[in-house]
Structure 1
Amino acid sequence: MRKREWTVPCLALEAETGAYHSMVDTASLFAKLKSTTTQPVIRNLMTRTRLPRESAVCERGLMSGLDPESLEDAGWGLLFAEDDPRTDEILEALEPLWAKRAAEMGRPPIVFRGERGFRRTYRTASDFLEYHGVGHQAVDPSAGVPFYLLLIGGPESIPFPFHFDLQSQFAVGRLAFDSVDAYAHYADTVCTWDGVRSPHGLTTALFGPGHPGDRATWLSLRHLLEPLHDWLRHHREARRRRWHIRATLAEAALKKRLVDLLGGPDTPDLLFTVTHGVVYRPGHASQRARQGSLVCADWPGREAWSRGLVPHQFFGAEDLLPGADFAGLIAFLVTCYGAGCPAWDHFAFDDPESTGARALAPKPFMARLPTALLGNGRSGALAVVAHVERTWESSYYAPNIARNATDYFSVVWDLLNGKTVSSALSTVHARQAVLAARLNRHLLEPDDRPELAQRICAYWKAQDDARNTIVLGDPAVRLCRPERARPTSHNG
């Protein structure tokens, strides 16, 4: 059996140099925990990862007897920041969307605004929930907070950590547009495309380069994209329902192909990509516009290209065709910064005793590409699933484990079978809860063994990686009509 590996790269390249972005080296934390008492470091890690000291982790989902696929059971609502000056304008722009959800529920949606919305004084989702009389148990929408919650506004209005915390218990999505018109465009997209497809004949496109000498992308091909492609193509249900599975992998994953897949003639129903994301230094003029753009096979790898990236090597919002029609696409972008960027590094291992962290941006922001997909003026995407901050290969690869990407298999399967986008992500968020519980247990062990340091490093990265996967768009949208009634379940 091979020795387990604990240091892993992330899926990101620095735009100005072409270098790999902050491949985490756990040696410093390993040495710190090995050479001194662990307790000061552990206390700091617990604070910075916002983990409770209790070993129990809240289970995400509805109480038994309620169906998360039924909005009549689960409920749906909008959550604004208390001081959002555009609340009335955005509500008016979203009127077709919330009217549609009201019809599906048989009652008006709940709108959390003003003092009932997100307050600047809230440190965690618990503060919001306690204000509304809700605890950390299976969700009962009749208690006042519906299961499906659509956050309105970017991370400067409603911070990313609040979003992460809330989605550990509820089905959460987010919309953040500069223009009020974009909210209206999105509402029209949902009213046109939400759940209207048949579960038969759906098209899924897989896209992922394998750059020469690039460990992260080749592992993603071998352990995620190629197995997922084979599994879907040979599944008896895929044949019965005449699903079309298209894969553009390795050297074929060129930018010109992504142009066809994102609003071009080959736009699929479901797009699943695994690529490096483009990263800029904090405050760079292109950071907000291009960070999280998708690096394509046009980049030949570090050995052949030892300088900064150029625009023809990656795909960003500026590359979307004028008048592009995304036709209610759902996209899952596995890449660093694909959903957005916080102001501070979530994975700072270089000085584990420091309460400070490396700055990533002057202010947190949403990635431009998914925002453009959702707010498209003609026909936008229904939802984009992506990562805030970095994503690691640990989500799809682990030494000595034959198949570590089954969470992604489940997401794709559930989307193709008509589950809501948030329900389809339940396996990813369940993994975060499991990893957080294991991390908690190891943090509380009064033990200075080197193995403890290794496990802390591994579990910290892996649970943050799963936690940072979010839905952009309405969490209740679905790709198609379920072929048959979904069974009642308490899992969200």
Structure 2
Amino acid sequence: MGDHIEEVWPEEVLSNAWHGEAAVGKVADSAAKWGAKRDTEFPSRPLAAEEIDYTNWRDGRVGWGVVLPFRDGWSRDDLAIGADAPEPIRQLIAARDNAPIFRYVPSLGSGVLRRILPDGKESDLSFDGARGIGPIAVPWYLLIVGSPKEIPWGVQYQLQTNAFVGRLDLDATGLENYVSALLSDWGGSDRNVATPVVWTVDKGHPDITRLMRKTITDRIVDCFRVDKEFDISGSGYLTDGSASVKALADALGERRPAFVVTSSHGSTSPLENAAEMAKQLGGLVDQQGAVLANPSAYALAPPAGSIWYSHACCSAGCNDRSAFDGIFEAGSTLDVVLKDIANIGALTAPLPRALLGAKRPIGAFVGHVEPTFDRTLRWPSTGQVTAHDIVGALYNKLHLAKRPPIGYAMKTYYQGVAGLLLQYSQDLDALANLGKKGLSRAFDARFIALDRLAMVLLGDPTVRLPLPSN
């Protein structure tokens, strides 16, 4: 970076966490210590070069498998065949050629999975070995089945830097609905790939929703506007006064989009009441302050098999400790919100659970396990927008003519983590020469990397948009 670039140490950070107002936090003195931590796990390797068609999960060199918790009290024989898995998941495994089953074992850490074979052999497998289908190979497509209490979010963060990963955390009825629709390839769905819906709240500068609109949703809309395959007119793009929950529900009913994008604050109310907060955590806060956490309350029903991206605080869920704990001044609204969210414990947010487990379930939901911040959307030192990879994943990859799976499309986004963590490490090593300038760069690199890892895919990673009808 040239000498003309001014390094900017953060004083205050905006977020899209909402508790009646947007949570903000002055950066605490302890943030310097946080920025210099070395406890961030590095991805073991970048995603593979394109010598194989990684969009074809049925290819044995690519493969698809299931990750389940290791459960005590079950025999090795039962664990090997997934006898402990919910019945719909056993059906899915059988339908996909008796797909391999892997176990998360806490003592192994987040980047190693255990494979128990029917012959009794056990192998602990990392992502540096064989890939695809085989007794000691790890597939490129992995479906985590279980809550983040059973298989922590941190495991998904690590796996998604080395594979194409989704998660299902649904009750018995939800799993039955989802797997049945998945195995029928969303048969009977009226989803229309040509009529996407983009919905974005904009509360004006300096609220973070303005930055989210300018860096993400406006750019996605611009892509659709110049592509003759898509129609984004009318209720295809809802913003400002049109960004209400009712307008969104109406647009989904009228346009039947195969692809939905929303950006807004995510609900974190009421503070200091974990049980009540959990009921609407990450719910989309519309322009007038209404919260969408329960689709049935608004008769909101996206088409079966559709893919939904939600840029909102905790839109995918929350963790029992924020990765950003220790940055913000004690007592600031953002510090309080992060701690109150953590008091809920690790869970999947109610909105994606309802959408994925519905009678006519959506195919995939991409969202965040943390708040997102103004500082992670734009490099403070250069003003450069960091959201290009979001647009690249959701438009340039997902909407390719061959319609690749959502898990594959998201690799564009996760590949950037390795470079950010390498920069973080290099800046720490150069602290002696760079001083506070190097510390601010290290802080930002770690901040953006952890923000990026906290975006997760819910649903099966093989879900894709339908081919356009001729």
TM-score tier after normalising by the smaller chain length: 0.7 to 0.9
1:422-441 residue pairs with structure 2 within 5 A? 422-441=407-426
From the superposition, tell whether residues 346 and 479 of structure 1 become closer, same or farther in structure 2 (CA, over 3 Å). Answer: same
Aligned to 1:457: 443
1:148-159 residue pairs with structure 2 within 5 A? 148-159=141-152
* TM-score (norm. length: structure 2): 0.82
1:290-369 residue pairs with structure 2 within 5 A? 290-299=280-289, 313-317=290-294, 319-321=296-298, 324=301, 326-350=303-327, 358=339, 360-369=342-351
Q: Does 1:476 align with 2:462?
A: yes
Aligned to 2:155: 162
CA RMSD of aligned residues (A): 3.3
SS of equivalent to 2:365: strand
Q: Would you say how many aligned residue pairs link Structure 1 and Structure 2?
A: 432
Aligned to 1:176: 169
From the superposition, tell whether residues 350 and 430 of structure 1 become closer, same or farther in structure 2 (CA, over 3 Å). Answer: closer
Aligned to 2:364: 383
Amino acid at match of 2:275: A
Aligned to 1:410: 392
Amino acid at match of 1:77: G
Offset, 1:265: 3.6
Offset, 1:380: 0.7
SS of equivalent to 1:476: coil
Aligned to 1:253: 243
CA distance in 2, matches of 1:387, 1:84: 31
1:392-411 residue pairs with structure 2 within 5 A? 392-399=373-380, 400-401=382-383, 403-411=385-393
Aligned to 1:486: none
* TM-score (norm. length: structure 1): 0.78
Offset, 1:243: 4.5
Deviates more, 1:186-195 or 1:325-334: 186-195
Amino acid at match of 1:118: Y
Percent identity between matched residues is: 21
Aligned to 2:58: 71
Higher relative contact order (CA 8 A, sep 6+): 1
Deviations 1:328-387 (A, max 9, x none): 1110011110111101121023489xxxx946124211101001000002x110000011
Say if 1:224 and 1:405, in contact at 8 Å, map to a contact too: yes
Say if 1:141 and 1:147, in contact at 8 Å, map to a contact too: no
CA distance in 2, matches of 1:482, 1:64: 27
Deviations 1:164-212 (A, max 9, x none): 11111111110011x2121110012213345999998522111111114
Task: Flag structure 2 segments of 5+ consecutive residues without an equivalent.
Answer: 75-81, 116-121, 330-337
Deviations 1:103-129 (A, max 9, x none): xxxx421123xxxx1123233223658
SS of equivalent to 2:430: coil
Say if 1:97 and 1:187, in contact at 8 Å, map to a contact too: yes
Amino acid at match of 2:348: M
Offset, 1:270: 0.3
Give the alignment partner of residue 264 of structure 2, picking from 254, 260, 275.
275
Say if 2:314 and 2:349, in contact at 8 Å, map to a contact too: yes
From the superposition, tell whether residues 194 and 452 of structure 1 become closer, same or farther in structure 2 (CA, over 3 Å). Answer: farther
Task: Flag structure 1 segments of 5+ consecutive residues without an equivalent.
Answer: 34-40, 300-312, 484-492
Say if 1:442 and 1:452, in contact at 8 Å, map to a contact too: yes
Offset, 1:323: 8.9
